[in-house]
Amino acid sequence: MLKPRYMQIADLLTEQIKDGTLTPGAMMPTEATLQATYDVSRVTIRKAMKVLVDNDLLYRVRGSGSYVKAPKAQHNAFQLMGFIEEVSAQGKTPSSKVIAFETSPCSHTIASKLNLEEGTLIYEIQRLRLIDGEPEILECTYLPVAMFTDLSIEVMQTSKYDYIERHKGMQIAKSRQCVWPDSTSTSLAARFNTRENTPILRVESVSELVDGTPFEYTVNYFRLHQYSFEFIAHRQTPQ
């Protein structure tokens, strides 16, 4: 079925944003210009522009016009990449701020995640992950001390996975992830520079080496201001 004209125009403008013809931060053509370009009414143009705003591709400035939004960094849940790899690959600047780094005996819950005896010494690390200087993720990570005796704050300010694979010579195989909707507590809202009870995503993961050894249990809180999740489902051909 043929799409309504405003949807056709929205699709054309979306493609121009995605292929870089309309760059992030660029001001969109005026309604009058778009009317002339596509030979349609002002109502049709306004409906097309609303589609782009609703799809988080544009933002409006009162008295000025509509501007192209910078794309969010995407988290592909099916491709195991570190935060720095993932964000850098999308042309943004990642950074990390370690806000807690200590060792302690592990609780029953964490021991069960890492296949350890309760009370085994683990690292408890909290990092604030930033994209272009803005806080986006609070990461709470638990690692067995015996596996990473030389782990340091300096390492955690860079890439944890690079340290594990390049420095320790371990091969990471997979991560099992569970995702829940959540909202910011008072302390988390302060970390994210946002309001309490703002919707966020909580992602828990257990990562394993190629021999099946779990080496990391992590709880990530995603602000979703500069980050989006991508899930790709492949249909299996019926037999």
pLDDT digits (tens, 9 = 90+) for 183-199: 999 999 999 988 999 98
Summarised one tens digit per residue, pLDDT across range 28-79 is: 999 999 999 999 999 999 999 999 888 878 888 888 888 888 766 555 544 4
pLDDT at 11: 92
3-state secondary structure of 46: helix
In the chain, which segments carry CATH 1.10.10.10?
A: 5-68
Amino acid present at 119? G
d(CA 226, CA 239) in angstroms, rounded, equals 41
Q: Where in the chain is the domain with CATH 3.40.1410.10?
A: 73-230
Q: What is the bridge-based pairing of β-strands 227-230 and 73-76?
A: parallel
pLDDT at 167: 92
Q: Give the separation between CA 6 and CA 15, rounded to whole angstroms.
A: 14
Out of 3.90.1170.10, 1.10.10.10, 3.20.20.450, 1.10.3720.10, the CATH code matching 5-68 is 1.10.10.10
Secondary element (H or E) of residue 18: helix 5-18
3-state DSSP assignment of residue 146? helix
CATH number of 73-230: 3.40.1410.10
Helices (H), 106-228: 108-114, 153-156, 160-162, 186-192
Q: Which of 100, 117, 49 is nearest to 219 (CA)?
A: 100
Phi and psi torsions of 50, nearest 5°: -65, -35
Give the predicted TM-score (pTM) of the model: 0.65
